[in-house]
Each structure stands twice: as C-alpha cells, then as structure tokens.
Structure 1
Amino acid sequence: MRTSTRIASVLTGLTLALGGAALTAPAAHADTSACINQVERELKGGEAPVAVRAACSLALTGAHEACVTGLTETSGVTNGTAVTACRLAVK
C-alpha cells in the first residue's frame, strides 16, 4: 500500500472516530484523557494536537492497532508510548 494511501485511510479513520467519540458516554472521556496525557508526557508539556485526540478515541472503539498507527504515523509519537497510551484508553 502506498504511503499516501495509508495516511489518507488513517486520517479518514481518525475523522470517523472523532464523530463517534462525540456520542460516547462521559466515562469514556476520562479514558481518552489518560491516553492523551501519556502522549503529552512524551511531548514534554506540549498540548496534544487534534490527531492525537482522534487516535486515542479510536482505542475506545476497540481499534487498538489503528490507535497506535494514528499516534506513530500522524503525530510522531514513539511506538512504545503509542502502545501504552492506546492501552490506557481502554482501561
């Protein structure tokens, strides 16, 4: 698969996840926050961009691999941090 196609599909998935995240229960928001906070620790104080929030929302839908891919490819987060952050989203 071409890189541009892969990135386009990840971004499409992230967009769909953001729409679905708006419909989730308030308890799910706290889980997303744990994921976002983990990424922000790696960014060393920087606020997480929208792509991070979207990727973390994907984890709530059970799409762990899509969450990891979204964090590593579109946000530049290391794989270890992405795996941990996506796991935190579903706890």
Structure 2
Amino acid sequence: MRTSTRMAGVLTGLTLVLGGAAFTAPAAHADVSACINQVERELQGGEVPAAIRAACTAGSTGYHDQCVTGLTKASVTNGTAVTACRAAP
C-alpha cells in the first residue's frame, strides 16, 4: 500500500472519530438540562443550586444512584429525583 493512500485513510479515520465526538457532546449537555428542567418543575422557578446541577451531571455520566442521592439531599422529593435522573442519561 502506498504511503499517500495509508495517510489518507488515517486522516479520514481521525476526522470520523473527532466528528463523532463533536456530535455526542451536545447530547450529554441536553441530558443534564432535561434533568434540571424536571427538578425546576418541582421547585417552580428560581435558579437551581450547584448541588442539583452536580447531581444531574452525575446522572448524565451513568451514576443514577449518586444522582438520586444528590438530588434528595438537595431537598428534592424522591419521586422527582428518580424521574429527573432517568432523564439524565
């Protein structure tokens, strides 16, 4: 195989990998927002405390139990915490 052909293949692969990462990054952010929005419905307005944002971020990375625990410690009802954390991942 010629070097130029091999180099073109490597560059194409890198482009696909980096492009895929760019497409998945906004989805993670949207999941955190969905979790926060669910909690805001219960709180009925106001700025969400940092503890809630941290719990929803944990939920978006797959730590469902940590998300629920963090939200309940931040005075969110258990039902809302479970629903919000399901929306995170």
Could you tell me the TM-score, scaled by structure 2's length? 0.70
Answer 1 or 2: higher relative contact order, Cα 8 Å, separation at least 6.
1
Aligned residues: 66
Overall identity of the aligned pairs, in %? 74
Query: Matches of residues 36-55 of structure 1 in structure 2 within 5 Å?
Result: 36-55=36-55
Higher helix share: 2
Amino acid at match of 2:80: T
Amino acid at match of 2:68: V
Q: CA RMSD in A?
A: 1.2
- Structure 1 residues not aligned, in runs of 5+: 1-23
Greater C-alpha radius of gyration:
2
Could you tell me the TM-score, scaled by structure 1's length? 0.69
- Structure 2 residues not aligned, in runs of 5+: 1-23
Partner residue in 1 for 2:85: 86
Give the 4+ runs in structure 1 shifted more than 3 A.
Answer: none
Amino acid at match of 2:79: G
